[in-house]
A and B are shown apart, each in its own frame.
Chain A
Amino acid sequence: MTETLLNAAGHGLVLVGLLFFLAGSLGLLRFPDIYARLHALTKAHNLGLGLLCSGLALQASALSEAAKMMLVWLLVLIASGIGATLVASTANTCGIVPRQVSRRIRHKRPREPKE
């Protein structure tokens, strides 16, 4: 009984994790600039892999295996979280302007009088 329940929960978690992966790659495909893509990708890294790892850990044969899978998730969390801040702050310094902000600034700026 417990095993069936655990298996069903594991399968469900893996499927939901897969959805987050698909959402992340859709973002990578469609989003307009690097900051937005970064945002979409971290969803795949943090939630997608996290749900997949917990789903597989529920069905793991031993506790040590389950712990190792959760460690994988923790490591990816560290790498993607810190990596995202590194990439975003360097992009900002290098002068890549976030798309939306630049548009709003252009909108608010008073039109220069034509010569």
Chain B
Amino acid sequence: MIVKIENLTKSFHNRLVIDGLSLDVHAGDLIALIGPSGCGKSTFLRCINGLETVDSGTAQIFDTVLSSPLEIGHKEFQRRSFAVRQKVGMVFQSFNLFPHLTILENVMKAPLVVTKMSKVDAEIRAKELLSKVGLGDKAYHYPDQLSGGQQQRAAIARALAMSPQILLYDEPTSSLDPALVNEVLLVMKQLDQEGMTQIVVTHEMRFARDVADKIVFIEQGSIVEMGSPDQIFGNPKDERTKSFLRHFL
């Protein structure tokens, strides 16, 4: 088990957003988090790499335990989050590429700055990654010259540049034109086959059903039902799960 989340709770302005969530993740898993919008799924994901603080409970990623800054102090929380982010990458719904840099520079930036990789090595690695996601010929383009699907694939390449062992995806295809969704899902499928651990918040049910190892249905900040795709899609136990899935299938 490489990620162990225990009883995670988080509130925003006195509103409970995550209500005692617990989850185990094993190496190589692709976990799909599904559920109605605005129910804490994104927040939950952001607690895993420390972009959001935890109110109570813990999130253990490898050896690092992220708990509330009130317990361990803000400085310690920052330090631990920083350690986590060296091994955990994130892909955002709105891509968040750096607009002032070319795609190649985007991918090279973190290795150059954080791990102090040499420029030559960083460039070779970046070009490899861009080829891998099918953007080899777009290296010198700027983000605003690319389509949505291309930008998201570039974002994945950028996250991969830091050689993460886990990738978090926050609704990676929700802002995309339906025609462009597939190219991104293909990359994620490929990574899964290569053994990458991925936690994906998504509304793409077919993808979740085909590729995920575990489906987690979250509503109102807590896990309603969890199981294999066959279990959740074929034989949902909870009424809420049934009524949610009715929208899709």
Q: Are A and B subunits of one complex?
A: no
